[in-house]
Structure 1
Amino acid sequence: MFISIVIPTINEEQCIGHLLYYLQNHPLKSHFEVIVVDGGSIDQTKEIVKTYDVTLHESSRTSRAHQMNTGAGLAKGEVLYFVHADVQLVDSFVQDIQDSIDHGIPSGCYRFKFNTPKNPLLHINGFFTRFPFKWCRGGDQTLFIKKDDFSRIGGFDERYVIMEDYEILDRLKKHQVPFKVIPKSVKVSSRKYDENSYLKVQLTNLKAMRMYKRGEDPKLIREYYCNAINGKYKKDRLFLGN
């Protein structure tokens, strides 16, 4: 099994080097390739990526769904593994994914915990990611899927300039693609919570999810979310674009 790790980026100079250094020095690095699809960074992200032995593709659109589809199109692996730039992976991810596929489960994710939580309430968020409910999921938990299944369901729906991670989970279920949550935790950044109150982020997420479930236009959900959230997530517009 060969894995293609696809990493969408936009202005990730603070994080991308740590992830690529980790992957470059992973003992099973011969079992995977790394594809970074940049959405138009204006910081040092692309320059940092170029110092590593990875594929860098500059996307024509700043949209995470589009960037991940682009990376999937470049992938040589039988398995796609979508990873955010600020995630710390589980060391055993190669074997975990192989074991899942060997047991007939071609897609899945991990639980998560925050790397340096300043607010103890963030431990609650991590705890609930062990449960198999859609509202407990998210792109930060990473997503692996066999490339054949990804192609069969049509990849990410690029109409979803936000909530693309939830939308693809709905289609995995619709197409009866088995999915599992691996009982180990990746570590994710708490930066969104550092720049906004815990309650504000939770309420914003809740409203965005309700808008998604009502079938509202993803561009309206994007507009709401970007107006509600402060800091870097607002400046970079959450990988959102036209």
Structure 2
Amino acid sequence: MNQNKLKISILIPVLNEENCIGDLLSHINDNSVSSSIQEIICIDGGSMDKTVAIATAHKAEVIQSKKGRAIQMNTGARHANGDLLYFLHADTIPPKGFDQMILESVTQGYESGCFRMRFDTNNPILRFFAWLSRINHSLCRGGDQSLFIKKELFEKNKGFNEGYLIYEDTEFIRRLYQHTKFKVLPDYVITSARKYREKGWFKVQYHFGMIHLKNYLGAGPDELYQYYSKNILN
């Protein structure tokens, strides 16, 4: 497959991200190196701040969606025109040349993949858990690592399960591991540790670990969200 002919749609679900979205969109513009980015779409779940105005000012397309990251990302995928979908959180910064790395990976036969991850902190515990992102196993995957996928494969696997209000990225990626080769690229995205700063790094990491365990033991989306609401949101 000729990578020069492939087009990438960057899809960013947003909800009240005025403090992040402008920097991310500027970074994408400054650090993409190919001509293959067809569009940047921010899927807004009902922001009450300046997110939409900032995204529009940075030349991103903004579409409206019901609230919920899985719903928003599926909405963006249906709207996208690119051959490849690149899902990116508003507080996650991709490496320079990320677009070229994605294109090269796809031409090598990988239909989906992600980057390794680092947090924007020197906290040793968070650095350790981020280090695990280099391991190519579904247990080490999460949405903060970003996700690229051929649109055809995304549609074949019916996208994100909208029953999941959290954990939607991991649930989808685990399905991908069952059906295709998944590539973990050697470069890093930098993701914000803001939730850890707000709630306490030990508390958040412990409860995220419990959510992983509950999912592994068979807990469904409602049980996971109830646990998340009780222990992390409150």
Per the TM superposition, whether the score is higher than 0.5 is yes
User: Residue 130 of structure 2 corresponds to which residue in structure 1?
Assistant: 126
Equivalent position to 1:226, from 204, 224, 229: 229
Which runs of 5 or more structure 2 residues have no equivalent in the other structure?
Answer: 1-5
Partner of 1:20, secondary structure, is helix
Tell me the alpha carbon deviations over residues 5-51 of structure 1, each in whole angstroms, 9 at most, x when there is no partner.
Answer: 00001111110010111223445464211000011111111121121
CA contact (8 A) 1:13 1:45 kept: yes
Equivalent positions of 1:195-234 (< 5 A) are 195-229=198-232, 234=233
Cα 1:127/1:27, change in 2 over 3 Å? closer
Equivalent position to 1:191, from 187, 191, 194: 194
User: Residue 77 of structure 2 corresponds to which residue in structure 1?
Assistant: 72
Cα 1:142/1:27, change in 2 over 3 Å? closer
User: Residue 24 of structure 2 corresponds to which residue in structure 1?
Assistant: 19
Is 2:54 aligned against 1:51?
no
CA contact (8 A) 1:118 1:194 kept: no
Query: Residue type matched to 2:189 in 1?
Result: V
Is 2:97 aligned against 1:92?
yes
Hey, what's the Cα distance between the residues in 2 that align with 1:95 and 1:27? Answer: 8
Hey, what's the Cα distance between the residues in 2 that align with 1:206 and 1:92? Answer: 32
Hey, what's the Cα distance between the residues in 2 that align with 1:141 and 1:180? Answer: 12
Q: Deviation at 1:121?
A: 2.2
Q: Deviation at 1:213?
A: 2.2
Query: Residue type matched to 2:209 in 1?
Result: L
Tell me the alpha carbon deviations over residues 184-211 of structure 1, each in whole angstroms, 9 at most, x when there is no partner.
Answer: 1110001111112322112101211122
Query: Residue type matched to 1:88 in 2?
Result: I
Partner of 1:104, secondary structure, is coil
Which has the higher mean CA deviation after the structures are superposed, 69-78 or 128-137?
128-137
> What is the number of residues matched between the two proteins?
228
CA contact (8 A) 1:137 1:166 kept: yes
User: Normalising by structure 2, what TM-score?
Assistant: 0.92
Q: Deviation at 1:108?
A: 0.2
Query: Residue type matched to 2:95 in 1?
Result: V
Which runs of 5 or more structure 1 residues have no equivalent in the other structure?
Answer: 236-242
CA contact (8 A) 1:10 1:39 kept: yes
Percent of pairs identical after alignment?
Answer: 41
| Runs of 4 or more above 6 Å deviation | none
Query: Residue type matched to 2:186 in 1?
Result: P
